A and B are shown apart, each in its own frame.
Chain A
Amino acid sequence: NAGVTQTPKFQVLKTGQSMTLQCAQDMNHEYMSWYRQDPGMGLRLIHYSVGAGITDQGEVPNGYNVSRSTTEDFPLRLLSAAPSQTSVYFCASSPQLSTLGGELFFGEGSRLTVL
């Protein structure tokens, strides 16, 4: 059972370049989200989706775009990378839209460095 799969695991970009971080889940989860993890900052929500065709902003959305055309996929796009976007990115999903259901399932992360 694959769970939440993120690609690539590592990426180096130059300032101004664009790229897409891929996230796919095979658990038929309605809720999907992207977090960034920075040293001493914990996990901060970038964007989230409660179903195909529905997305919304989290705490730190600037510089990132998302779309949700299928239940399975939730790509994160960096339109013009900046050094401040150097971070580890995690995709997470849940079968429920509410925490009353419990668990977020995380991918293994994508480490991005912007030079």
Chain B
Amino acid sequence: GENVEQHPSTLSVQEGDSAVIKCTYSDSASNYFPWYKQELGKGPQLIIDIRSNVGEKKDQRIAVTLNKTAKHFSLHITETQPEDSAVYFCAATLNSGYSTLTFGKGTMLLVSP
């Protein structure tokens, strides 16, 4: 099955700085890569996703890049704000089914004012 490695496990930045979270996956057949944000005491929420036929996707201050050759994808957050503080999960799936969606172990992002 798929294996997703996520780094770093914790990331501390100052408000206004950029933050980058990286994930690698094992199966070259994976074709869908979502990112979820989990605020304290809440369930995860989708913030952005990318499919294997796209190299980069942006949504305001958030962007995701995908390198299929190296089998890694990254989340970039620019101009970080305190409300960006949360746990972020990457995930990958082989055949588009939710039952095969494999999550990384999460990154706790702390943005200090």
A contact set with B: CB distance below 8 Å: 4, 31, 33, 40-45, 48, 56, 58, 90, 92, 94, 97-100, 102-104, 106-109
Partner of A42, one of B32, B49, B105: B105
Q: Which residues of A contact B9 (CB under 8 A)?
A: 40
Contacts of A45 in B (CB 8 A): 99, 101
Question: CB distance A48 to B99 under 8 Å?
Answer: yes
Minimum distance in angstroms from A51 CB to a CB of chain B: 13
- Does B25 belong to the interface (CB within 8 Å)? no
Question: In whole angstroms, how far apart are the Cα atoms of A106 and B51 in the complex?
Answer: 21
Give B contacts to A, CB under 8 Å.
4, 6, 9, 32, 34, 36, 41-46, 49, 51, 89, 93, 96-99, 101, 103-106
A42 and B103 in contact (CB under 8 A), knowing A106-B45, A108-B42? yes
- Chain A to chain B contacts (Cβ below 8 Å), 30 pairs: A4-B43, A31-B98, A33-B98, A33-B99, A40-B9, A41-B105, A42-B4, A42-B105, A43-B44, A43-B103, A48-B99, A56-B99, A58-B99, A90-B43, A90-B44, A94-B98, A97-B97, A98-B97, A99-B32, A99-B96, A99-B97, A99-B98, A100-B96, A102-B49, A104-B36, A104-B98, A106-B44, A106-B45, A108-B43, A109-B41
Instruction: Report A-chain residues with C-beta under 8 Å of the C-beta of B89.
Output: 42-43
- What's the Cα separation between A26 and B18 when bound, in Å? 38
- B87–chain A nearest beta-carbon distance, Å: 10
CB–CB A97/B103 < 8 A:
no
Question: Are A42 and B106 in touch, CB under 8 angstroms?
Answer: yes
Q: B8 to nearest A CB, angstroms?
A: 13
Set of chain B residues within 8 Å of A100, measured between Cβ atoms: 32, 51, 96
Interface pair A104/B46, CB less than 8 Å apart: yes
Least CB distance from B51 to A in Å reads 8
Given contacts A42-B103, A102-B49, A104-B98, 20 further A-B contacts (CB under 8 A): A33-B98, A40-B105, A42-B4, A42-B105, A42-B106, A44-B103, A48-B99, A97-B97, A98-B97, A99-B32, A99-B34, A99-B93, A99-B97, A100-B51, A102-B34, A104-B36, A106-B43, A106-B44, A107-B43, A108-B43
